[in-house]
Amino acid sequence: MTAVVELMDYADVIERFDPVLGLEVHVELNTNTKMFCGCANEFGGEPNTKVCPTCLGLPGSLPVVNGKAVEGAIRIGLALNCEIAQWCRFARKNYFYPDMPKNFQTSQYDEPIAFNGYLDVTLDDGEVVRVEIERAHMEEDTGKSLHVGGATGRIHGAEHSLLDYNRAGVPLIEIVTKPIEHTGGRAPEVARAYVSALRDLLRALDVSDVRMDQGSLRCDANVSLMAKDATEFGTRTETKNVNSLRSVERAVRYEMTRQAAILAEGGSIKQETRHFQEADGTTSSGRTKETAEDYRYFPEPDLVPIAPSREWVEELRKTLPEMPSERRKRIQREWNLTDEALRDLLNVGAVDLVAATVEAGATPDEARSWWVNTLAQEANSREIELAELAITPAQLAEVIALVNAGELTNKLAKEVVQGVLAGEGSPSEVVEKRGLKVVSDDSALIAAVDEALAAQPDVAEKIRGGKVAAAGAIVGAVMKATKGQADAKRVRELIVERVGA
């Protein structure tokens, strides 16, 4: 039987404690090859087919640093307002785990390539919080374990485990914040907003596909609580590999309520890693958390230090794109958006989607209406991010163009969008397959109008007597008869003509 976990009411948590956060985000780079060998850096594939002696750690194999990964690390550091090290080196982080083929991870310890930065984060109500960055360092990813049998998919209770080393050696950048204090009840929101802002920045840099669902962007959320009169941080827990923005917020909130209940009863928090349970938003105990000393770091003897010249760093600085925050300010100005309208776009993650739809030919107002209203509701009902919907900005722009050309009504356009989301093809293909094009042939419309007028002679008489508003009933009948495919404006015109009003 699962033990019942005591939780404290969130309002009471905030009244009695101050939360302190520390967020570690792992980013897989989109280089063509792995960090220290020439194996393909691609997601998925048949297990253990994208491996070689180097990424498997076989005797006699030697690593070579991926230059594009170093370049990506520097660009990330610059975008995060970090200092770039003039000299840094790799280290061996020693620990045993089956998905770590070398029994150590090549990482950076006390000499990261980027350090002392910050990222300004905008919350839902427009408040800006500065999150300070401790470091951004280079390392390699591990392989993946698949635990077969059991109820949870984890090693506990599994019948056996399978190992896939395709991911071992993929270039990673780990971005570590300094302790995030003084956020009070907004701590979970700050955590979500930070990861969201970081994802937007990395996407703009084009250094990663930042697919949280595929693990190319993962967040470890460290949470501790301090009593209101305390001067030292409390003991922290680290919830590992949280893989969605919503889950980051839920994991932080849950840990705050769980830890507070333990502390209120006079208990102590165990420093450990924990696993987030997507199904119910809880966390469960993993393993006791190691300290840096437990990893027995020492300099990697097979790799030379990295000393990026100042000239190269400045050349890379010139390649940085317009940062998301600056782009939003420009978009707000160009689209003449109120602060509230911009926040609506930000809150549903629609800024880039709307911009891409505008670039594909739609107007800002048209694109905004679809993404913020219709499609945001669709994403919410499916419990996924807006960008995960199976419709592209270009496809939405095509739907909008069909409406503007009079080939679709708004109602039919929504049917077309549903077809695209269902995987039935492009908007034009959905229109063809479902027979959704607007009926624009006057002869067909006149026949439908005459039939509706004959069925409702009293309404026809009212229209003839000058009560043109009564035409709505006839319009509705025609739309029903044509399955919503008539041009309502043209139908109304024909009704007035036919009754001689």
Scanning 225-282, the segments in alpha helix (DSSP H) are 245-264
The residues with which 105 forms a beta bridge, in sequence order, are: 93
**CA 492, 493, 498 angle in degrees (round to 5)?**
95
Task: Round to whole Å and give the CA distance between 35 and 105.
Answer: 12
Q: Hey, which residues does 17 pair with through a beta bridge?
A: 227
Please name the helix (run of DSSP H) or strand (run of DSSP E) that holds residue 283, with its range, or none.
Answer: strand 282-288
Backbone angles phi, psi at 174, to 5 degrees: -100, 120
Per-residue confidence (pLDDT) for residue 124, from 0 to 100: 83
Is the pTM for the entire model greater than 0.95?
Answer: no
The angle at the Cα of 275, spanning 124 to 227, to the nearest 5 degrees, equals: 65
Residue 225: predicted pLDDT: 97
Positions in the chain short of pLDDT 50: 1
Contact between 235 and 271 under an 8 Å Cβ cutoff? The reply is yes
Can you give the pLDDT at residue 146? 85
Domains and CATH numbers, the chain: 10-303 (no CATH), 325-434 (no CATH), 442-500 (1.10.10)
Q: Would you state the pLDDT for residue 229? A: 87
Which token pair is 113? 């390539």
Q: Where are the beta strands (DSSP E) in 31-127?
A: 83-84, 91-94, 104-107, 114-122
**Whole-number pLDDT of residue 1:** 40
**Which pLDDT does position 347 carry in this prediction?**
80
- 68-83: pLDDT as tens digits: 999 999 999 999 999 9
Predicted local confidence at residue 465, as pLDDT: 65
pLDDT at 441: 53
Based on DSSP, count helices (H) and strands (E) in the chain, helices before strands.
17, 14
Rounded CA gap, 124 and 128, in Å? 9
Write down the pLDDT at residue 291: 65
List the beta strands (DSSP E) in 128-181: 128-140, 144-148, 160-164, 171-177
Contact criterion met (CB below 8 Å) for 29 and 113: no
Angle at 322 between CA 316 and CA 326, to 5 degrees: 135
Q: What is the pLDDT of residue 451?
A: 73
Identify the pLDDT of residue 349: 82
Q: What is the pLDDT of residue 444?
A: 59
Write out the two tokens for 325: 């925050």
Q: Do 501 and 466 meet the contact criterion of CB atoms below 8 Å apart?
A: yes
* 200 C-beta neighbours (distance < 10 Å), count: 20
Handedness of CA 244, 248, 249, 254 (dihedral sign): positive
Q: What is the pLDDT of residue 117?
A: 98
**pLDDT score at 365:** 92
Query: Residues 7-11: contacts with CB within 8 Å, 24+ apart?
Result: 7/254, 7/257, 7/258, 7/261, 8/257, 8/260, 8/261, 8/264, 9/257, 10/185, 10/253, 10/256, 10/257, 11/185
